[in-house]
Amino acid sequence: MPNDRLVIRRPDDWHVHLRDGAMLKAVLPFTARQFGRAIVMPNLKPPVTHAADAVAYRDRILAALPDGVAFTPLMTAYLTDGTDADDLARGFEDGVFAAAKLYPANATTNSAHGVTDVARIAPVLERMAEIGMPLLIHGEVTDPSVDIFDREAVFIDRILAPLLDRHPSLRVVLEHVTTSDAVQFVRAHAGSGRIGATITAHHLLINRSHIFQGGIRPHLYCLPIAKRETHRVALVEAATSGEGPFFLGTDTAPHTVTAKEAACGCAGCFTAANALELYAEAFDEAGALDRLEAFASLNGPRFYGMPANEERVALERRPSVTPDVLLVSEGDAVLPFRSGETLRWSFAGVV
């Protein structure tokens, strides 16, 4: 039955945290079996700031790939106040860097070395605009007096809008958008073709009340934090619209159970174990499975100026159970988003 099987071009994940070492080995197979390419975030400790670091990290990723799996990691540079525009531009022109990531200093996990004021990197942004290198933005202000649920909307007003005005040809991706404000802003600039936005699976599936359902649920805590239901609805509407600026980026961000279930738990949801099944669930609920391919497999490559993948993957409407805890190394485990729960869709592999 055609409605029970969906064949789409192989998707890409335009925002992923693969980590390093034992964690990299444990989580990479999940991303690599579903996605053809992924934009790999540079917030390691220490961060990936230079082209040479990115080459070494890419080699470690490729070495950790299971045999016979075709997967291309696309590397990013972590911008700091001291980023050298020449090194960055060379990295992009040599094909090492696909983009550069702006973390406002201390906005999220491993962002302590981030940018303290975007004015400081104006010459770097100028150079990126000249060479067509995309800027990927964690869009939250760090001002502690701004309510955590308002930090994205305030960032758009205070930082992003003026930044786009100052750099009229800079290409920008607003990462993991969580608000209707972000959706509206991206739409308002869509005509320029220079702005994109990634949307995670978890932000399509949960709102902020889920984080406190029956008690505090640390595994649903990520940054930007999930917002109220009206925002989730706006995100579903944007993702399922088929509109070019909106594309898939899971922001899968694994942390050990110990680091999550703590008095001061880390931010990040690990969604790679069944990312496509989660997106299929959200699109199915919205009656928009026919738009999943645009969101997951076509819009991202178009924004990045890359061809869509030639391979196809299949999803089938039959129950799948999200894996339970995943052992990373002796004593260290990760809990997948919705672990142990049954989803309506199954990933049937590359066809």
C-beta of 197 vs 222, nearer to ligand NCD: 222
Residue pair 29/315 in contact (Cβ under 8 Å)? The answer is no
To the nearest whole angstrom, how small is the minimum distance from the Cβ of residue 253 to Zn ion?
5
Build a one-symbol-per-residue string for 210-239: x at contacts with ligand NCD by CB under 6 A, - elsewhere: ------------xx----------------
How far, rounded to the nearest angstrom, does the alpha carbon of residue 23 sit from its chain's CA centroid?
A: 18
Structure tokens at 280: 């299929």
Phi, psi of 238 (to 5 degrees): -70, -45
67 catalytic, yes or no?
Answer: no
Binding partner selected for residue 34 from ligand NCD, Zn ion, none, CB under the kind-specific 5 to 8 Å limit: none
**Residue 152 sits in the site that holds ligand NCD (CB under 6 A):** no
48 interacts with, out of Zn ion, ligand NCD, none, CB within 5 to 8 A per kind:
none
Per annotation, catalytic residue among 86, 251, 284, 332: 251
Shortest reach from residue 72's CB to ligand NCD, in Å = 21
Structure-block tokens of residue 81: 């106040």
108 near ligand NCD, judged by CB under 6 A: yes
The correct pick among 31, 43, 274, 299 for binding ligand NCD (CB under 6 A) is: 43
Q: Residue 152 or residue 251: which is nearer to Zn ion going by CB?
A: 251
Q: Which of 65, 146, 267, 333 binds ligand NCD (CB under 6 A)?
A: 267
Structural tokens at position 227: 């917002």
**Of the residues 12, 53, 152, 251, which one makes contact with Zn ion according to CB under 5 A:** 251
Taking the least distance from each CB to Zn ion, the nearer of 43 and 80 is 43
Closest CA to 13 of 333, 297, 342: 297
- How many CA atoms within 13 Å lie on the side-chain side of 322? 22
Extract the runs of DSSP E, i.e. beta strands, from the chain.
Answer: 5-9, 13-16, 37-40, 72-78, 97-102, 135-137, 172-174, 195-199, 246-248, 312-316, 320-321, 326-329, 332-334, 342-343, 346-350
- Give the binding site for ligand NCD (CB under 6 A): 17, 43, 108-110, 138, 222-223, 251, 253, 267-268
